[in-house]
Structure 1
């Protein structure tokens, strides 16, 4: 039975971290909200689960994954579940929790990315908080990006089994997620990321190595991958970008 991924149509967003793992593993899955209503899917199918009054374990919000009757919510939790099944997690059980911790750190970073364009309130449009967004973004680019990327750079440097993997000597879902945040940063802040490769060479090399994985390369070039846009987490507003 195919996995069912539930996330908003038209957005990479947090759902993309799960898509990358499924695509890399060539797993059979349905991107539910993007499928037709006639086939029993679509946005209505997702909202039916979210608004269910009988489902005992309803998720708070997308993304969530259905595997048969099991519903698994939250990106890091989904990847903790999928990782061993897709051969994208360490075989050692203890190291799986290390990988999970790294993914949770990525989740923290994603929250900070989101807050660059919505620093005051999520229910306000970006245009209603542009001045605050400029202040928040400058702090993000000056302080937070270096803090997180330097940490990831150090993790790669100190991995005794290979400096293009965050953990162990084989690709994991954490590597795919680091690829996504680097890709997103370059889309959102192309000027600020101009020197990224020089500042964080190992992180940049990991990004390039993931892009060379056959299934990821095919996915990135396909119509299955939703382009970055100004409705997602990584948004390109020229007025927020700045020279490195």
Structure 2
């Protein structure tokens, strides 16, 4: 099976959570965002499914994954699907739901991180909502980062099996996604994240363990993993870091 991943070119965004799972799982996939438009890639290829009149189950937005003739949208839904084939989720139903629940909580944190620089409307430029962004970012730094980090640290502490993972003894897609969020928040809020992570050593250990995994490390060093930038979900505006 060769998967096709569709996402916006030039940014990691929500597509990166899927990429990390595909890389860790050793899957064969085509990253359509990296293909030139004149060779069936880029935004036109994506719009064919988003806007095409003959697509029976169109995705609302990218990322989406093409598996044969099937289209699967929404990051958490894609990862729920991939968890089994890529062996990145437990086999039992309760374990699958627990990992999915953790992934949905990660998704909540991603939304809150994004909304620090776009608190009023996604359609407005950052410069048009800077005053509101400063207020939102202060609350995110002082209250929301600690709340989410405390939760994930608690989950890590209560997993009493050997290893740094959220669930059981093996890495899951939720571990990969959580590490990605920690990396993104470290980029966007270097001062606030340094302070917060001092109090959450298990979370920092998980982040390091994920990015030291051979396949993830090889991917990160390949040039295919895009750098964080200020057109992305996680943005570094020093005035928002306190």
TM-score, normalising length: structure 2? 0.97
State the superposition RMSD in angstroms.
1.0
Q: Tell me, in whole angstroms, the C-alpha distance in 1 between the residues paired with 2:49 and 2:33.
A: 12
Structure-1 residue corresponding to 2:171: 171
Q: Tell me, in whole angstroms, the C-alpha distance in 1 between the residues paired with 2:39 and 2:26.
A: 22
Shift of 1:163: 5.3
Shift of 1:181: 0.6
Structure-1 residue corresponding to 2:4: 4
Shift of 1:192: 1.2
Per-residue displacement from partner, 1:9-52 (whole Å, max 9, x unpaired)? 00101110000001112211111122023332221110111001
- Contact kept? 1:4, 1:66, Cα under 8 Å: yes
Say which SS state the counterpart of residue 116 (structure 1) adopts: coil
Say which SS state the counterpart of residue 23 (structure 2) adopts: helix
- Contact kept? 1:116, 1:137, Cα under 8 Å: yes
Q: Tell me, in whole angstroms, the C-alpha distance in 1 between the residues paired with 2:233 and 2:99.
A: 23
Say which SS state the counterpart of residue 195 (structure 1) adopts: helix
Question: In the comparison of the two structures, how many residue pairs are matched?
Answer: 242
Structure-2 residue corresponding to 1:162: 162
Does 2:186 match 1:186? yes
Q: Which moved more, 1:92-101 or 1:135-144?
A: 92-101
- Structure 1 runs of 4+ off > 4 angstroms? none
Q: Tell me, in whole angstroms, the C-alpha distance in 1 between the residues paired with 2:38 and 2:126.
A: 35
Q: Tell me, in whole angstroms, the C-alpha distance in 1 between the residues paired with 2:150 and 2:182.
A: 13
Structure-2 residue corresponding to 1:115: 115
TM-score, normalising length: structure 1? 0.96
Q: Tell me, in whole angstroms, the C-alpha distance in 1 between the residues paired with 2:193 and 2:113.
A: 14
- Contact kept? 1:90, 1:96, Cα under 8 Å: yes
Q: Which structure 2 segments of 5+ residues have no match?
A: none
